[in-house]
Chain A
Amino acid sequence: MISLLDIADRAQKGPKMDENVWNMGLFRKMNELTEKYHLHYPKDNPVFNCDNALADRAFMAAVDFLIETGIYCISTGRVIQLTRNEVLNTIKGMPKQFAVGEGKDVRILKQRRIEEKEELNHCPGHHAPFTEELAPLIIKSFAEIPSADYLEGINFSEVDGREIFGLPLEVYAGKREASWLRQGVAKAGRPGMAVAYYPINTRAAVMIAPIAREVGLRPSDGILLSVLPDVKVEQDYLTTAIVWEEYGGFKLNGNGSGFVGGFCGGLGGAIIEAIVATLTGWIVYRDILCWGGVLSSSAFASTKEIPTNPTDVWAASVWAQALHRHTNYIIFMATGSHSGPGCETQLLELAFRAISIPINGSNVHISRQFRARMNASQSPLDAEWLYEVSTAVMKAGLDRHSAGDLLLKIGEKLKGKAPEAPYHDIREFYDLVHHKPLPNYEKAYLKVKEEISTLGLIFD
């Protein structure tokens, strides 16, 4: 398995390349591999991929990309080159499961099976902005969710009344974030629960500073070290990964994704990029789990219409199947919404996304409005709902075909709808003190649940 020090050496000594040249080279190579491995959306318009050979070809294309093109380090402007043996041997070293947290709060995070039927892992929040005044209650409230296996941090723009601006204040804020997370899970009666640091910013010093066994990040905690779009990495993350590797914490890649319409090109290129980005997270940072999939750049940024395009769902299923068939990667699905929390539309969006999670052998990741807003991007109920729907899909015994039908039905309900965001603060629709939705949100939740039940899901 190639070591992180070898990667660091290559990031310093690999061939120099202008970033624009890299981008265009990536575009050409993705197109070439898409054609070489016939990675096209089938003519029968499936929602989930049912062709194992196609998933295998997508994986081979991704490995070829890493060998023939490499990985770009934006800090040094150099290409990290890899041999086939290095890529394949390193992939073999991935664990299929690992423990996070301490004491009675230890949880095992696992790779799931395609069309999974067993209880999934769950990270309910945050990865979202909250102000300092809300931090103590918000974290506690998310940590109180029984299915939560670990929690991710929050970000904020002020600390102790000061704007967070410049390295020294960022370091201070990073330490505060970790400290609030520790206090929050302890207040929820889960002092050993794993927390994953959500970087205040991505300077290495800001990511290393929160390490503190007593009052900060412990060896049983994690950190988000994401691969950049277009197969790019950076030295700040690599430095943090080296330190973190020795400290013992887990690392996660928040961008095992391909973006249709970026430098990877169309759907085929986006599938390859998503697999490459996931593998790169392990090879360069030793990210042990990943959330990702395939998204259209235009759909992701859409503010006028909620996208329900089945081709993205299909492409994400190819990504997941390729990883399951050829690696031990533990994946979580990106499950945000265009709508803000507190309304029926957002709950429907989340249900739409939740169907894919067990079908793709994924675990359940954060429900957050894509375009996050301060104090208004997520609530514990959205997270619990997402997990409920995923569990109901498994209980109903859905497979790729039947889940596809259900997904299309929910998609019909969302078709043509514009995203909604009726609230500006979580306290307008959620009672953080008593960990329950306010009556209006409770009503919306029960209504959507009833609607989904009529489509064939069975809730407890």
Chain B
Amino acid sequence: MISLLDIAERTQKGRKMPEDAWNMSLFRKISELVKRYEIPNYTKDTPFLNLDDDLPERAFHAGVDLLVEHGVYCITTGRVVELSRDEVLGVVRESPKEILVGTGKDARVMKQRKVEGKEPLNFCPGHHTPFTQDLAPIVVKNFAQIPRTDFIEGFNFTEVDGHEIFGAPIEAYASRRQVSWMREGVRKAGRPGLSIVLYPITTRAEVLTAAIDPVDGLRSGDGILTSVLPDEKIEHDLLATAIAGEDCGLWRISGSFSMVGGFCGGADGAIVEGIAKPLTAMICYRAFVNYTGVENVSTVSALSIPLQPLNWARSVVNQTLNRFTNTICMAWIIPTSGPGTESNLLEVAFRTIEATINGANLYAPRHSRARMNAGQTPVEAEFMVEVSDATLAAGLDRQRGGELLSRLTQKLEGRQPEPGFTIQECYDLVNHRPSPDYERIHQQVKEQLTELGLVFP
């Protein structure tokens, strides 16, 4: 497998290219690959989830060709990291299908899943969202208390110890505080060995590596979020962190979904980028766990509830990665409505059903446009597990799952995203339970899903 030091050298010595030229060239190359491999676009006749078993193979070749023929762009040096086919396929072949995270009794195995698999999925309940310092001690504990939790990600904040977080020195301090609170939180939940993942306060390498400390910070078995940037771009800060993390036994996770409407073009081009990106994460950062799929700008901006063609495109990407690579896929569940609302839980259910059938593990449900202390509660996380288990219990395949999702679509169409509530307004953090109103909504949504065919215990 190509080494990270090789990648580092190529970022220094590869061919120079202005970023604008890279962007336009990426657009042209992806358009060309879409044609070469006949990647279709979504139409009204396309099944809700992909049922064409030939398409993933073509999509895989398109993703590999993108890396071989176009490379990866380093924004720090403005240079192109070029890769040979052998190097790309070597990583595809040799990357692990499962990794061990955490330590001692709390160690868990993160695995690649199968499309239409039957095993319960891996699960990260939160955070990846902003919380204030005063809530940190109890919020972390609450998420760590969820029994199915395999690892837990950090959170961000704008002030620490009364200081605005501004500039590398205070960012490094805040980074250490974050992991220290995480360590304390998982201990309080009785799971001292639970794997924690640093959610970067900022992505400067010194801020990321400052959190490494086996006693009160990140230790072997913990992870760091090192995401590949949109449009096949990487950066030195994350590469340096990956090298440091590799030395300390830290695993990496990358946000590797593509965005319709970016330089990759439409859903067809986003499929190609959605496959190349996790491969890039594996090659350049040794990130074997990736939250994968296809989004668009309006999803992450919480402007409208995202539906097709994203559901179909995501299914193509995850089917491809699960069939032709060892990527450990996760689905980032990002409802456009805030917590404490019916719309939020319906969106969580919708995307969880889809993820389960696609063989994507469950990752940090969070309001897509997260607000301070109002991005998530443990309810959505626990609900995600409930829905995923119910999907497995119902034995849904792509065809039946697609039909169910089509019916669920009717409940979401035309809705406007709801802002939701702060965690204190809809959740009792002391007793680890939702407020009575939120619990009522939770039960009502479950009933609706049961009517659609899910089987809850």
Q: Give CA–CA (A207, B237) in the complex, Å.
A: 14
B244: Cβ under 8 A from any A Cβ: yes
Q: Give CA–CA (A243, B217) in the complex, Å.
A: 12
Q: Give CA–CA (A209, B247) in the complex, Å.
A: 10
Q: Give CA–CA (A31, B395) in the complex, Å.
A: 85
B236: A residues at CB distance < 8 A: 166-168
Interchain CB contact under 8 A, A5 and B163: yes
Q: Give CA–CA (A11, B163) in the complex, Å.
A: 13
- 0/1 interface trace, chain A 229-248, chain B, CB 8 Å (1 if under): 00000011011111100110
B161: Cβ under 8 A from any A Cβ: yes
Which B residue sits closest to A245, measured CB to CB?
B173
B423: Cβ under 8 A from any A Cβ: no
Interchain CB contact under 8 A, A204 and B206: yes
A27: Cβ under 8 A from any B Cβ: no
Interchain CB contact under 8 A, A209 and B167: no
- Surface stretch bound by A, among B6-14, B127-135, B308-316: B6-14
- 0/1 interface trace, chain A 167-178, chain B, CB 8 Å (1 if under): 111111001000
Which residues of chain B in 194-225 are interfacial with respect to chain A, using CB atoms and an 8 Å cutoff? Answer: 204-210, 212-215
Which residues of chain A in 1-38 are interfacial with respect to chain B, using CB atoms and an 8 Å cutoff? Answer: 4-5, 7-9, 11-12
Q: Give CA–CA (A391, B8) in the complex, Å.
A: 49
Interchain CB contact under 8 A, A175 and B247: yes
B445: A residues at CB distance < 8 A: none
B169: Cβ under 8 A from any A Cβ: yes
Interchain CB contact under 8 A, B172 and A5: no
Q: How far does the Cβ of B250 sit from chain A's closest Cβ, in whole Å?
A: 11
Q: Which of A8, A168, A172, A235 has the most CB of B within 10 A?
A: A168
A170: B residues at CB distance < 8 A: 240
Which residues of chain A in 212-243 are interfacial with respect to chain B, using CB atoms and an 8 Å cutoff? Answer: 212-214, 235-236, 238-243
Interchain CB contact under 8 A, B209 and A8: no
Interchain CB contact under 8 A, A168 and B210: no
Which A residue sits closest to B173, measured CB to CB?
A242
B76: Cβ under 8 A from any A Cβ: yes
Interchain CB contact under 8 A, A5 and B161: yes
Q: Interface size on B (CB < 8 Å)?
A: 42
B172: A residues at CB distance < 8 A: 204, 208, 239, 242-243
Which residues of chain A in 118-147 are interfacial with respect to chain B, using CB atoms and an 8 Å cutoff? Answer: none
A172 and B5 in contact, given A167-B236, A204-B206, A209-B244 (Cβ under 8 angstroms) = yes
Q: Which of the four size classes fits the interface of chain A? A: 35 or more
A76: Cβ under 8 A from any B Cβ: yes
Interchain CB contact under 8 A, B205 and A213: no
Partner of A167, one of B207, B212, B240: B240
B176: Cβ under 8 A from any A Cβ: yes
Q: Give CA–CA (A241, B173) in the complex, Å.
A: 10
B213: A residues at CB distance < 8 A: 211, 247
Q: Give CA–CA (A9, B165) in the complex, Å.
A: 9
Q: How far does the Cβ of A22 sit from chain B's closest Cβ, in whole Å?
A: 19
Interchain CB contact under 8 A, A168 and B167: no
Q: Give CA–CA (A165, B76) in the complex, Å.
A: 13
Q: How far does the Cβ of B396 sit from chain A's closest Cβ, in whole Å?
A: 44
Partner of B5, one of A162, A212, A214: A162
B77: Cβ under 8 A from any A Cβ: yes
B75: Cβ under 8 A from any A Cβ: no
Partner of A8, one of B7, B167, B207, B208: B167
A44: B residues at CB distance < 8 A: none
B67: Cβ under 8 A from any A Cβ: no
Which B residue sits closest to A171, measured CB to CB?
B240
A235: B residues at CB distance < 8 A: 167-169
Partner of B240, one of A7, A205, A243: A205
Interchain CB contact under 8 A, B210 and A208: yes
A435: Cβ under 8 A from any B Cβ: no
Q: Give CA–CA (A446, B307) in the complex, Å.
A: 86
Which B residue sits closest to A207, measured CB to CB?
B206
A171 and B243 in contact, given A208-B206, A209-B209, A242-B169 (Cβ under 8 angstroms) = yes
A236: B residues at CB distance < 8 A: 168, 206
Partner of B237, one of A5, A169, A205, A211: A205
Interchain CB contact under 8 A, B5 and A243: no
A160: Cβ under 8 A from any B Cβ: yes
Which residues of chain B in 260-318 are interfacial with respect to chain A, using CB atoms and an 8 Å cutoff? Answer: none
B244: A residues at CB distance < 8 A: 171-172, 175, 205, 209
B412: A residues at CB distance < 8 A: none
A371: Cβ under 8 A from any B Cβ: no
Q: Give CA–CA (A247, B209) in the complex, Å.
A: 13
A187: Cβ under 8 A from any B Cβ: no
B206: A residues at CB distance < 8 A: 203-205, 207-208, 236, 239-240, 243
Interchain CB contact under 8 A, A168 and B170: no
Interchain CB contact under 8 A, A204 and B168: yes
Partner of A169, one of B5, B77, B168, B247: B5
B164: A residues at CB distance < 8 A: 9
Interchain CB contact under 8 A, A211 and B212: yes
Partner of B77, one of A166, A171, A203, A205: A166
Interchain CB contact under 8 A, B239 and A11: no
Q: How far does the Cβ of B120 sit from chain A's closest Cβ, in whole Å?
A: 35
Which B residue sits closest to A166, measured CB to CB?
B12
B89: Cβ under 8 A from any A Cβ: no
A246 and B5 in contact, given A203-B206, A209-B244, A211-B212 (Cβ under 8 angstroms) = no
Interchain CB contact under 8 A, B204 and A172: no
Q: How far does the Cβ of A421 sit from chain B's closest Cβ, in whole Å?
A: 33
Interchain CB contact under 8 A, B169 and A4: yes
Which residues of chain B in 225-251 are interfacial with respect to chain A, using CB atoms and an 8 Å cutoff? Answer: 236-237, 239-244, 247-248
B208: A residues at CB distance < 8 A: 205
Q: How far does the Cβ of B253 sit from chain A's closest Cβ, in whole Å?
A: 19
A5: B residues at CB distance < 8 A: 161, 163, 169-170, 173
A12 and B161 in contact, given A166-B12, A168-B243 (Cβ under 8 angstroms) = no
Q: How far does the Cβ of A55 sit from chain B's closest Cβ, in whole Å?
A: 34
Q: Give CA–CA (A139, B69) in the complex, Å.
A: 46
A9 and B8 in contact, given A167-B205, A208-B209 (Cβ under 8 angstroms) = no
Q: Which of A4, A12, A243, A247 has the most CB of B within 10 A?
A: A243
Q: Give CA–CA (A410, B167) in the complex, Å.
A: 51
Partner of B8, one of A169, A214, A240: A169
Q: Give CA–CA (A75, B173) in the complex, Å.
A: 18
Q: How far does the Cβ of A194 sit from chain B's closest Cβ, in whole Å?
A: 18
- 0/1 interface trace, chain A 290-313, chain B, CB 8 Å (1 if under): 000000000000000000000000
Q: Give CA–CA (A212, B236) in the complex, Å.
A: 21
Q: How far does the Cβ of A414 sit from chain B's closest Cβ, in whole Å?
A: 44
B4: Cβ under 8 A from any A Cβ: yes
Partner of A243, one of B7, B163, B176: B176
Q: How far does the Cβ of A208 sit from chain B's closest Cβ, in whole Å?
A: 5
- 0/1 interface trace, chain A 154-197, chain B, CB 8 Å (1 if under): 00000010100111111110010000000000000000000000
B173: A residues at CB distance < 8 A: 5, 8, 242-243, 246
Partner of B9, one of A12, A75, A162, A213: A162
Offer 10 A-B interface pairs, CB within 8 angstroms, sorted by A. A9-B170, A11-B167, A160-B5, A167-B240, A171-B209, A171-B243, A172-B8, A172-B247, A203-B205, A208-B210
Q: A168-B236, A207-B206 are in contact. List 11 more A-B contacts (CB 8 A).
A: A11-B167, A12-B167, A162-B9, A166-B8, A169-B8, A169-B12, A208-B209, A213-B214, A239-B168, A239-B172, A243-B172
Closest 5 CB pairs of A and B: A205-B205, A204-B206, A168-B8, A8-B169, A205-B206
Mark B residues whose CB is within 8 Å of A: 4-5, 7-9, 11-12, 76-77, 161, 163-164, 166-173, 176, 204-210, 212-215, 236-237, 239-244, 247-248
Mark A residues whose CB is within 8 Å of B: 4-5, 7-9, 11-12, 75-76, 160, 162, 165-172, 175, 203-205, 207-209, 211-214, 235-236, 238-243, 246-247
